[in-house]
Amino acid sequence: MKTHHYFDYAAATPLDPRVLKAMQPYLTERFANPSSLHTPGREQRAALTDARKRIAGVLGAKPAEIIFTSGSTEGINLAMQGVLRGFPQSRVVISAIEHEAVVAVASGLERGWQVGTITVGESGVVDSLQLAAAIDDTTVLVCLQYANNEIGSLQPISRVAAEVARIRADRLRRGVTRPLYLFCDAAQAGMLSLAVARLGVDLLTMGGSKIYGPPGSGFLYVRTGTQLQPILYGGGQENSVRPGTENVAAAVGLAAALELVQADRAAEAKRQAGLRDWIWQELRQQLDGLLLNGTMNPRLPSNLNLVVNGAPGETLVAHLDAAGIAVATGAACLAASDDPSPVLLAIGRTPEQAAASLRLTLGRGTSKADAQSLVNTLRKVVPRVRQL
């Protein structure tokens, strides 16, 4: 049966028609290499420059601080490896619920890196003072996800940035010359403030596929003065840290998508939070044995992650899919793994509870009718799955 009700916006969003319209010329007649010196090449370069300026404008950054990438995963690798390669005997501090890409890069201990992992409580929110206590004089990088992709918990980025700034100042007084950078994975933060000066971050990455932009597009913000080495080698594109012919269509689409999602973020966040809260209230009234994963505040307005005790998540996903409703058990990048979610284990869930969890994520296209269909179907499906 065709899926009519989509609740997996955290995994992928549809391409906004306005974004496609902006991209269209660069997918057809405007195809020249932006590094070429002829007129078509200069036109492409001008479009790339404009896209960079528009993204920088949303962030309150300088255009030169924006590096185009193929998405958040590449941005994570470029930010982390780009910093850590310059300091092979350094330490990186991450939270216990970071994205798999962050964990994978940080786990490269054969390269001489040391990793400090900060625990989180049931809320899934990091204690900024606990994080600061884990930073020693060998630490060069702190990685903290703005909004968790599974349970939607929001991290106190600005408070952590203030602690990082305090530690930097103390290092300077003591003559410690090793830099200390704060990196933020903002892949799920399209409806949040992205003002980098207020956030206090040195590096920040996003991808287009989560903000109604083109898949395979993304950017990395790199604050001026941040020491970043390339992880790929070739031409001098993107400040010589990300070589290769730029995807102009993707950059143009990404800029358009970011501006659009930020333009109505307050109203859309309020609308989605209202629908999410209604779904949660209805489900709690109509089904027993439900537990909320993470805290409701602070949380992404689009995210609802819950334990359905006695009902395996994968079985529920299959039954809902058959009824035309698309949901997830957790992060799409870990869907092929049989292991319980590290994020859910980190907030204190048992392996059995983690296996019985559902992630419901809303988006622009989610209506009250969609929400009603979800609730009605879960009310019928959950008892049936529990009996199995």
Q: Among all residues, which ones are annotated catalytic?
A: 333
Three-state DSSP at 337 gives: coil
In angstroms, the CA 253 to CA 324 distance is: 30
Give residue 359's region: left, alpha or beta (phi > 0; psi -120 to 50). beta
**Is the separation of the CB atoms in 209 and 13 below 8 Å?**
yes
In angstroms, the CA 248 to CA 245 distance is: 9
Q: How far is Cα of residue 22 from the mean position of the Cα atoms in its chain?
A: 24
In angstroms, the CA 57 to CA 59 distance is: 5
Helix (H) or strand (E) holding 326: strand 325-326
**Which amino acid is residue 130, in one-letter code?**
Q
Helix count and strand count (H, E) for the chain: 13, 12
Q: Residue 121 CB: number of other CB atoms within 10 A? A: 12
In angstroms, the CA 238 to CA 245 distance is: 10
Residues found in the chain: 388
Place of tokens 């019985």: 356
Three-state DSSP at 298 gives: coil
The per-residue DSSP string of 134-167 comes to T--TTEEEEEEESB-TTT-BBP-HHHHHHHHHHH
Tokens of 246: 């730029």
In angstroms, the CA 194 to CA 119 distance is: 25
